[in-house]
Amino acid sequence: MEPSPQSATTPTCYRHADTETHVGCVRCERPICPACMREASVGFQCPDCVREGSRSVRTATTVAGGRISAVPLVTYALMAVNVLVYLGEVIRPGIVERLQMIGQGLVGPDGVGYVYQEHHPAGFHAEGVAEGEWYRLLTGAFLHMPPTEGVFGILHIVLNMVSLWNLGRIVEAQLGRVRYLALYLVSALGGSVLVLLIAPQTPTLGASGAVFGLGAAYWVIARRLGADMRQVNQFMAYFLLWMLISAGFTSWQGHLGGLVTGGLLTVGLVYAPRERRGLVQGLVCGALVVVLVVLAALKVAAL
């Protein structure tokens, strides 16, 4: 028995040969069944054409080449870590002496620290970066004045977290999460290294070095984007004025180190050529870290 002319010419889905269909993909015109139809602006497309179209669409990126994200997750996470560490200080005050940034200092049996002296009383022992505790270069950036310091202890973390919230959201949105986190940590490292170089026997703590790095990044990004610099310059003037005013009771070395390091790294991140952006950014970040570590090593060797 001969098949009817209608059944011999009825098309079947190109992916499901046993399914008849009269609908074709608007791009490649291959027949597609309801299970394979993907709604388009006009008609339907097949799964293969949809995948091909997705590959050809460029993903929106930040000025530094990172992925655009509406939620500043890294800023939230950094604030959470700082607050949790502060709560840890409330429960275990001894972690301040154990993790704060200091190049070389003495700690007595009662856990109280003193300026390092070559000949020190019995029962005292030396601590600090010069004694192999290199982790202090970063851990000190997540500590703040303990509550035992009274109102100053509370203001220290509050002011830093408010600054991190205001600056972090802007900078993270422009750099992307990975580059922003690298900026924060390298800025914190730069602040600690300058403390080590200039005031190695002065204990310091706080996120201020990293925050000043974010401030420098904000200025560099604004320049790169061609923003109106009047308000940005005014903000930076207040920022630098605060660094001078607070020099008498805070670590201006940490602030300045974070500011310079953050500014240099951001220049490398936002001005890197698009064709080799990832490579250049990685080299700039790596070179800065190497320079900071070498400077710290030379200072430690001299102590």
Residue spans of the domains in the chain: they are 5-56, 73-302
Q: What is the pLDDT of residue 244?
A: 80
Lay out the sheet containing 113-115: strands in order across.
Answer: 113-115, 105-107, 125-127
Report how far apart, in Å, the C-alpha atoms of 164 and of each of 48, 79, 194, 236 are.
45, 7, 21, 15
Question: Rounded to an integer, what is the distance from CA 45 to the centroid of its chain?
Answer: 41
Q: What stretches in the chain show pLDDT beneath 70?
A: 1-8, 41-42, 54-60, 108-123, 247-249
Q: What is the pLDDT of residue 59?
A: 55
Instruction: Name the CATH superfamily for 73-302.
Output: Rhomboid-like (1.20.1540.10)
- Distance in angstroms between the alpha carbons of the first and the last residue of the chain: 102
Q: What is the pLDDT of residues 150-181, one digit of tens each?
A: 777 788 899 999 999 999 999 999 999 999 99
Cβ neighbours of residue 37 closer than 8 Å, sequence gap 6 or more:
23, 44, 45, 46
Report how far apart, in Å, the C-alpha atoms of 3 and of each of 6, 7, 10, 16 are.
8, 7, 12, 21
Cβ neighbours of residue 49 closer than 8 Å, sequence gap 6 or more:
25, 27, 28, 38
Q: What is the pLDDT of residue 54?
A: 66
For residues 185 and 250, what is the distance between their CA atoms, to the nearest angstrom? Answer: 20
Token readout for 143 is 């500590």
